[in-house]
């Protein structure tokens, strides 16, 4: 590797800052110890925020608010008018509640379709992971994807147990079990843990492909060791290129950005849509820096790994104990700041060489998506799988070329 080159197929120890005065780097929220608070079962009992549709991809940057309902009492106008306003402005579930009150019926403790109902359904499948290893101790979250004990979490949560460490899995009913690390992929910040249990409650997996900015989301996990914590918000942006981590284990994430509160201990927990299906794995937060040695906290900028990406990685780990990372086989010129990603060197025998990519080429798009910089190129490539073919738009000597490249798995 040349001094100016960054290999796409390798993780790089890069920490990139979001723009803005005083805004610190994106990073894992679970890299510092914190007090082991007792479990706390939390839940919000209110109608869901209406699902909104908005623009698709977010603006690319380097490298997680529900709407309040104001109640107005009609007073001198009279109960009939007040009820008419309620019927025409409240969600259907809330209108049913008003009708039930008028009829004297007994309301259910949890309204159908509410955040409380979703939380009650998924909390038995969300676990707290207490992990220890040679690199230290920590607490994170995870969620059960199969009744026979497979649990998804972050690599930076469970990976420290790889070399003789231990994983304790704490369930919502107060029971615990010993977990075994099945496998992990540091580049995607994903890991799978297995417990020797059957008949476990699972959380359904959805799809991140159809998400829109403004869609309602729910995060469940164990921030600061407070198990069963539920927070809500919206999808703030999509396709945010995020790098997080360090010490040779940098993750490149084409992330879902959300303003749902994400704090240390939330990592590895599920980000859910309004149907209670997992659409992301909570992984990183942006911080304002703060005092030296201070612990990061939520400032409304959290990032989750899209579940469509996570599914492939998790499936491979469950089946084989490891997973593959797709590459094109180039080293990028780190001195080039964009727009686009400039090729420094082409790896001999790589997909890029076979496709005709040359040193000095400027990659400006992947499958029609504009590339802002090298980080975005990496996360966009990693959103695919080995064997997929991507179409690169390349500028060379003033000409624009369309170059199809078939991805292959990294040898590392």
Q: Within 10 A of 322 (CB to CB), how many other CB atoms are there?
A: 12
Q: Is it true that the peptide bond before 339 is cis, omega within 30 degrees of 0?
A: yes
Which residue in the list 30, 189, 333, 345 is annotated as catalytic? 189
Which residue in the list 156, 208, 345, 361 is annotated as catalytic? 156
Q: What are phi and psi of 278, to 5 degrees?
A: -75, 125
The Cα 217–Cα 233 span in angstroms is 5
Helix (H), strand (E), coil (C) string for the chain: CCCCEEECCCCCCCCCECCCCCCCEEECCCCCCCCCCCCCCCCCCCCCCCCCCCCCCCCCCCCCCCCCCCCCCCHHHCHHHHHHHHHHHCCHHHHHHHHHHHHCCCCCCCCCCCHHHHHHHHHHHEEEEEEEECCEEEEEEEEECCCCCEEEECHHHHHHHCCCCEEEEECCCCCEEEEEEEEEECCCCEEEEEECCCCCCCCCECCCCCCCCCCEEEEEECHHHCCCEEEEEEEEEEEEEEEECCCCCCEEEEEEEECCCCCCCCCCCEEECCCCCEEEEEEEEECCCCCCCCCCCCCCCEEEEEHHHHHHHHHHHHHHCCCCCEECCEEEECCCCCCCEEEEEECCCCHHHHHCCCCCCEEEEECCEECCCHHHHHHHHCCCCCCCEEEEEEEECCEEEEEEEECEECCC
Q: Residue 366's beta-bridge partner residues? A: 369, 392
Rounded to the nearest 10°, the torsion over CA 318, 319, 322, 328 is -120
Close Cβ partners of 267 (under 8 Å, ≥ 6 residues apart)? 28, 29, 30, 140, 141, 153, 154, 156, 157, 221, 282, 283, 284
Told to judge if 189 belongs to the known catalytic residues of this protein, a careful annotator would answer: yes
Told to judge if 137 belongs to the known catalytic residues of this protein, a careful annotator would answer: no
Which residue in the list 222, 267, 323, 383 is annotated as catalytic? 267
Told to judge if 156 belongs to the known catalytic residues of this protein, a careful annotator would answer: yes
Residues with catalytic roles: 156, 189, 267
């Amino acid at each position: 590797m040349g001094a100016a080159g960054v290999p796409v197929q390798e993780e790089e120890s890069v920490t990139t800052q979001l723009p803005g005065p005083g805004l610190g780097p994106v990073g894992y929220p679970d890299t510092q110890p914190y007090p082991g608070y007792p479990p706390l079962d939390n839940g919000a009992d209110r109608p869901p925020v209406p699902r909104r549709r908005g623009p698709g991809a977010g603006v690319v940057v380097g490298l997680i608010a529900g709407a309040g309902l104001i109640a107005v009492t009609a007073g001198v106008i009279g109960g009939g008018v007040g009820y008419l306003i309620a019927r025409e402005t409240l969600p259907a579930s809330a209108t049913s509640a008003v009708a039930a009150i008028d009829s004297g019926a007994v309301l259910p403790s949890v309204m159908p379709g509410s955040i409380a109902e979703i939380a009650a359904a998924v909390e038995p499948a969300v676990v707290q992971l207490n992990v220890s290893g040679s690199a230290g101790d920590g607490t994170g979250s995870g969620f059960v994807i199969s009744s026979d004990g497979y649990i998804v979490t972050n690599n930076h949560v469970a990976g420290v147990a790889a070399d003789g460490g231990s994983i304790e899995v704490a369930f919502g009913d107060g029971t615990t079990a010993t977990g075994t690390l099945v496998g992990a992929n540091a580049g995607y910040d994903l890991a799978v843990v297995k417990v020797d249990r059957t008949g476990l409650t699972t959380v359904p997996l959805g799809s991140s492909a159809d998400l829109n900015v403004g869609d309602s989301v729910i995060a469940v996990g164990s921030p600061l060791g407070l198990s069963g914590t539920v927070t809500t918000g919206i999808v703030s942006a999509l396709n945010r290129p995020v790098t997080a981590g360090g010490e040779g284990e940098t993750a490149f994430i084409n992330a879902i950005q959300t303003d749902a509160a994400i704090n240390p201990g939330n990592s590895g927990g599920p980000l859910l849509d309004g149907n209670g299906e997992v659409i992301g794995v909570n992984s990183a937060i942006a911080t304002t820096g703060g005092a030296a040695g201070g612990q990061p906290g939520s400032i409304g900028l959290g990032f989750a790994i899209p579940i469509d990406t996570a599914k492939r990685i998790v499936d491979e780990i469950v089946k084989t104990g490891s997973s593959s990372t797709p590459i094109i086989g180039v080293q990028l010129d780190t001195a080039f700041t964009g727009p686009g990603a400039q090729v420094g060197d082409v790896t001999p025998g790589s997909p890029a060489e076979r496709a005709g990519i040359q040193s000095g080429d400027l990659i400006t798009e992947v499958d029609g998506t504009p590339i802002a910089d090298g980080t975005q190129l990496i996360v966009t490539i990693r959103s695919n799988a080995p064997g997929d073919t991507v179409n690169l738009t390349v500028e060379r000597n003033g000409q624009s070329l369309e170059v199809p490249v078939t991805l292959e798995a990294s040898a590392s």
